[in-house]
Structure 1
Amino acid sequence: MKHTLFLFDLDDTLLDFKASENLSFVRTMQALGVAGATETLFNHYQPINVALWRAFEHGTVSKDFLKVERFRQTFAAAGLVLDSELASRIYLESLSDTVVLIDGAIELCASLAAIGEVGIITNGVESIQNRRIASSGLQQHIAFVATSEACGHAKPDVRFFEYAMNMARPVRKEQAIIIGDRLDADILGANRFGIDSCWFNPEQLANTSLAVPTFEVASLRQIAAALKNRAMV
C-alpha cells in the first residue's frame, strides 16, 4: 500500500458526533430543569454552534469563548434565563459518555494500524476528545492525537498539519493521507499541505467548494479498497 500514515478526523468521520451532540444537549437541558421543547432549542443551538466553530477556525474567537457563547446565544434566542457556563460544563462532561461509532470505524482503524500509523486530527476540545476516544474502543489502534488546542492552530491551517506530521514516525508526504468529512477543514487543509485526502461523504453531497479530494467514499468500509486501488495508480 502506498500510504503508511492515516490521519483521521474524529467527529462525523470515526465517531457520530451528530448523535452524541443531540444526546448530550438533551441531558444538559434536563440537568438545567428545562422540561420539553428540547428539539426546538437544539434547532436554535446547531446553527449558532456551527457559526462559532467556523469563527474559531478562522481565528476570530477563542475556544473558551465558543464553549460558553453558543449556549448564551441559544438561551437568549429562546428567551431563557439559564447559566451558560454551567450548561457548557455539563454538556462537555456528557459528550464523553454519549459516544456513538460510525459503522466500520474500529475495523478500519485496526486494519490500517497493522499497515502503518493511525493518527487523529481534531479541532475539538483536547480533554474531551481523549476521553471520547478512550470510551469508543478506538484507542488501542491510535498512535497519537493531534488537537488544535495543543497546536495553537486549527484545521485547515497548514501549521496544524505540520504539527500532526511531526507527531508521527518520520514519513514522506506522499505516504500520508487525510480522511475526513469536512471539505473546508480536512480536504482543503490536505490540499494546502500537499498530501492526499479522502472525503468521507456518507450523504453523497455535491462538492461545490474549492477543495479537491484525491478520492471520495460514502462508507468507511470502502476506504481499504480505495487505498489499495490508489497504490496501483
Structure 2
Amino acid sequence: MKTYELVFIDADDTLFDYRKAESKALSGAFESHDISITDEIIRKYGRINKELWRKYERNEITQEALRTERFRQLFNDLSLTMDHADFSEIYLDYLSNSAVLMENADTICRYLHENYMTVIITNGISKVQRNRFDKSQIRDCFDHLVISEEAGCNKPHIGIFEYAEQITGYSDKDKMIIIGDSLTSDIAGGINYGIDTCWLNLHGTDNTKDIQPTYSISGLLELKNIL
C-alpha cells in the first residue's frame, strides 16, 4: 500500500451535504419574500447552478458573477421581478449557516486527522465555506482550509494546489492524494497537478469521461482501505 502524508478532501457533496443545505437555503430565501418553495423551483435552480459552476471550472465565468447570474436566470424562468443581487445575499446567509455532514464524514475526518495532514480544498464561496466549517463537527479535524475565492483560482486548475503548497508548506506530490465526488473538478484537478486521486462515487455513476482516478470508492469509510 502506498504511503501518503497529505490528504486533500473536497467539501461539498464529499463532506458536507450540499443538496440539503441548498434546499434549506432556497426555502429560507424564498420564504423571506413570502414565496413558498416548490420542487420545480429546486429543480430549475439545481440545473442552472450546476451549469454555472461547470462554467466556473472552465474559467468562463467569475465566482462573483455566478452568485447573481444563477438567480437572474432562475427569476427569468419563473417570471419573477425580484432583485437577484439582493436575493443572492439572503440565500448565501442561509447557506453559510447550514453545516449538515454527509454520512460517516465525522468518523472518517477524525481517522484521517490522526494519521495525515488534512486539508479541505473547495471551489466554494469563502464566507459560506468558512462559516459552515466553523459551525461543523469537523472543524477540529483539519490543518488547513483552501478556498478558491481566496486562492484566486479553482479546481481543476493547478494554481489552487500551488496556493495550497504555500499555505501548508508541503510540496511532495508523491505523498499527496485528493478525495472528491467530482471527476471534472477534484479528480481532473489532482491529475493536472500530478497527484493521486480518489473518486467518491456515492451513487454508482458510470464514468463516461476521459478522466481516470487512481482509486474509486462508494462510501467514505472505504478510505480506510486506502489510507
Common fold by TM > 0.5: yes
Amino acid at match of 2:166: N
Structure 2 Cα separation of the partners of residues 78 and 133 of structure 1: 33
The TM-score, its normalising length taken from structure 1, stands at 0.93
Give the 5 Å matches for 1:1-20: 2-20=3-21
Partner of 1:104: 104
Distance 2:152 2:169 in 1: 21
| Aligned residue identity for 1:120 | I
CA distance in 2 between partners of 1:64 and 1:194 (Å):
29
Q: Which residue of 1 aligns with 2:68?
A: 68
Q: Which moved more, 1:49-58 or 1:190-199?
A: 49-58
TM-superposed CA distance for 1:171, in Å, is 4.5
Q: 1:27 to 1:167 in 2, by over 3 A?
A: same
SS of the residue corresponding to residue 95 of structure 1 reads helix
For the Cα contact (< 8 Å) 2:96–2:127, is it kept in 1? no
Structure 1 contact 183–199 (Cα < 8 Å) conserved = yes
Aligned mates of 1:170, 1:59 — CA distance in 2: 27
Post-superposition Cα deviations, 1:93-112, rounded to whole Å, max 9, x if no partner, equal: 11122221111111111111
SS at match of 1:177: strand
Instruction: Work out whether 1:131 is the aligned partner of 2:131.
Output: yes
Task: Give the structure-2-normalised TM-score.
Answer: 0.95
CA RMSD in angstroms comes to: 1.3
CA contact (8 A) 1:188 1:210 kept: no
Partner of 1:231: none
Partner-residue secondary structure (3-state), 1:198? strand
Secondary structure at 1:114 match in 2: helix
- Would you say 1:197 and 2:197 are equivalent positions? yes
Residue 21 of structure 1 corresponds to 22
Give 1:37-48 correspondences, 5 Å limit.
Answer: 38-48=38-48
**Would you say how many aligned residue pairs link Structure 1 and Structure 2?**
226
Q: Secondary structure at the match of 1:199?
A: strand
What residue in structure 2 maps to residue 221 of structure 1?
Answer: 221
Q: Percent identity?
A: 33
8 A contact 1:13–1:181 mirrored in 2: yes
* Per-residue deviation, 1:116: 1.8
List runs of 5+ in structure 2 lacking aligned partners: none
Q: Secondary structure at the match of 1:60?
A: coil
Q: Which amino acid aligns with 2:221?
A: R
- Gap regions ≥5 residues in structure 1: 228-233
1:46-61 mapped onto 2 (5 Å cutoff): 46-61=46-61
Structure 1 position 172, deviation (Å): 1.3
